Structure 1
Amino acid sequence: MARAGVTYHDVAKAAEAIKSQRQEPTVDRVREHLGTGSKSTIAPLLKRWRSDNGEAVDTGGLPNDLIEVVKSLHERVQQMADHRIEQVRQEFEGFNKALRKELSDAKNTIVQLTARQQDLDSQIERQNKEKGETEKSLEDVRISLVKAESQRDEAIARTTELKESVAELKQENKDIREHFEHYQQRTAEDRQQEREQFRTVTQGLKDQVRDLQHRLTQAEFKASELFDANAQLQSDAGKLEQANATLNRELNGKIEDIQNLKRDLEDALTKCRDFQHKNEQLAENAAVITTQKADVDKQVAVLTQALETTKAELKVCQDKIAFLTDENKVILQEKAMILGQFKQLQGSL
């Protein structure tokens, strides 16, 4: 098949140039001068040029019949060659047309592939951008996860401290209750003992007062009798002076006894007042103890309220820990989803 770059005109021009250099145009020299083309293509074109230029061939004394046969053969070969050349040209034009069509299709395909490549480049750029945003979101999620873990650790530490504080408050409350119960029991025992002592002393004083009152009544009764007897004896003064003197002595003794009894009664009344004063002091002490008990009850109430507040804070911390745990789980799930999408994105790339 002839190449598209070698034509009869090119061969003729090359042959004339070689001939102008006083050299014989041959196939090799024409091919060397053109720098292209095959020997099978250049040879018939060169023969045609020679025929057109009427160059005489040296027959060397060959017979005319042989020359005519050679010429006839040459013309037939020339016709066949021309026919073949025309056929080759038609084939070449068809092939060239097909190549042009394929080239056009190839150009269209290249345009489509270029557009597709541009789309792919834009998709890759967009995916890279999304990848960067995804990595940034993943980094933000990691930072949030680290912050959440830090907050969770702080909440756990705070919960531990609150638990320790609650335990200490419970122990202090327990100790206060034990001391308070022991104090109440000791106070009750002391008050009971003091009441019993006061009751015993009061009863003894009452018995003494009753005895003294009885003796005083008897003494007054005897004094009345003696006064009556003295009145009777005064009428018999002469006879009863000796008895009167005796009775006066007895009366003086009884008066002294009465004075002694009065002093004893005053001492008993003084002791009774002292016991009443002690009873008042005991009542005051009981009031002070009651006040202290009220203060202790207030402290217990304050500690109980603090304990309830601590429990509420502990409940809030526990709820916060549960919320952070749930949020941590959600973050881990989102992280897993993002990693899965990232792996799918890498697989698609």
Structure 2
Amino acid sequence: MARAGVTYHDIAKAAEAIKTHGQEPTVDRVREHLGTGSKSTIAPLLKRWRSDNGEAADVSGLPNDLVEMVMSLHERVQQMADHRIEQARQEFDTLNEELRKELTHANNTIAQLTSRQQDLDDQIARITEEKSLQDKSLEGARVSLAKAEFQRDDALTRANDLKESVSELKQENRDIRDHFEHYQQRTAEDRQQEREQFRSVNQGLKDQIQDLQHRLTHAESRASELFDANVQLQRHADELKQANAALNSDLKGKIEDIQNLKHELEEIVTRCREYQHRNDQLAENMAVLTTQKADVDKQVAVLSQTLETTKTELKTTQDKAALLTDENKVILQEKAVIQGQFKQLQGSL
């Protein structure tokens, strides 16, 4: 399809300008002079210009077979070269556009993968930081648990000691009662004195027993609280272990995702290199086609030069034929004169 602005008038002006500079107007020279237009559009317009300017009369003296063969060869070679170049250019443009789209898609994919990798790195850093904090918290919980277990053991030991003290006090109380019954048969004064003394001692023992019972109750309550705290700490430690295991599993999954993304990135880079290699091969093929076209143009130029030489030889031959024709006419005239003279001579005889 012709580009806008390329008309027969433009082709005619360009051909006349090229001819003014002493060169033969060709499709390439006209296209180079105009700087626009396709060869499929310029070729028929240039042929029309040649027909309008009567360039076909220059070869009217040549054999039609030679002229038609040369023109057919030139047109066929030109059309084949134009077709191959246009086809190669279209294939190159199509493949180049596809490669450009795929390269753009690959760049977008690389950007997305890079962004995802950055997000995964940030998530890994955040998870690592959270894991570190949870490890510290777990370590603190373990220390607190160890302290609580130590306090629980100490409270249990103290509770056992208090129980033993209460047992001893009860045993002493029983011993005292036994002694009290044994000495009850003493004299009234000793009994009264012992009774008062017993009351005083018994009251002190009761106070001690009540105090020990109160301390035992407090120790048992404290031991229960420590046991509950130990259970909670153990539960919290189990939760932290489960969270740590989940974080480790999530971290492994993220690392596998990063490895997969890196593998995809390597495949995309490999495909880009393959496309670049194909693009280079197409460029080389384009260069080869251009070289072949140049060779064809050289062959056409040689044929054109041969055609010009043939024209010159034909012109020379035509000139010689005309000269021989003139000489033949002169000889015929002389022959007619001689025959007339011969007839006159015969008549005189």
Q: Above 0.5 in TM-score?
A: yes
Question: Whole-Å Cα distance in 2 between the matches of residues 237 and 133 of structure 1?
Answer: 150
Partner of residue 97, structure 1: none
Shift, 1:268, TM fit: 0.6
Alignment partner of 1:178 is 2:133: no
Alignment partner of 1:243 is 2:191: no
Question: Whole-Å Cα distance in 2 between the matches of residues 197 and 251 of structure 1?
Answer: 40
Structure 2: any 5+ residue segments left out of the alignment?
A: 1-59, 301-349
| Mapping for residues 101-250 of structure 1, pairs under 5 Å | 113-143=63-93, 144-188=95-139, 190-236=140-186, 238=188, 239-250=190-201
Shift, 1:271, TM fit: 0.8
Query: Secondary structure of 1:263's partner?
Result: helix
Higher relative contact order (CA 8 A, sep 6+): 2
Query: Secondary structure of 2:144's partner?
Result: helix
Partner of residue 258, structure 2: 307
Specify which of 257, 266, 272 is matched with residue 208 of structure 2.
257
Query: Secondary structure of 1:218's partner?
Result: helix
Letter of the 1:216 counterpart: V
Which digits, 9 at most, give the CA deviation of each residue in 1:225-284, with x for residues without a partner?
112202212333744233033213312321232122122111111110111111111112
Specify which of 260, 268, 271 is matched with residue 219 of structure 2.
268
Structure with greater Cα Rg = 1
CA contact (8 A) 1:233 1:244 kept: no
Question: Whole-Å Cα distance in 2 between the matches of residues 261 and 114 of structure 1?
Answer: 143
Question: Whole-Å Cα distance in 2 between the matches of residues 142 and 322 of structure 1?
Answer: 17
Query: Secondary structure of 2:174's partner?
Result: helix
Which digits, 9 at most, give the CA deviation of each residue in 1:188-245, with x for residues without a partner?
1x11331243134224313422331232132122112112202212333744233033
TM-score, length-normalised on structure 2?
0.61
Question: Whole-Å Cα distance in 1 between the matches of residues 187 and 230 of structure 2?
Answer: 56
Letter of the 1:210 counterpart: N
| Mapping for residues 311-322 of structure 1, pairs under 5 Å | 311-322=262-273
CA contact (8 A) 1:205 1:268 kept: yes
Question: Whole-Å Cα distance in 1 between the matches of residues 137 and 84 of structure 2?
Answer: 75
Partner of residue 240, structure 2: 289
Question: Whole-Å Cα distance in 1 between the matches of residues 185 and 267 of structure 2?
Answer: 109
Letter of the 1:181 counterpart: S
Give the stretch that moved more between structures: 129-138 or 315-324: 129-138
Q: Percent identity?
A: 13
Question: Whole-Å Cα distance in 1 between the matches of residues 79 and 143 of structure 2?
Answer: 93
Question: Whole-Å Cα distance in 2 between the matches of residues 344 and 329 of structure 1?
Answer: 23
TM-score, length-normalised on structure 1?
0.61
CA contact (8 A) 1:141 1:335 kept: no
Partner of residue 80, structure 1: none
Letter of the 2:114 counterpart: K
Count of aligned positions: 239
Question: Whole-Å Cα distance in 1 between the matches of residues 81 and 164 of structure 2?
Answer: 119
Structure 1: any 5+ residue segments left out of the alignment?
A: 1-109
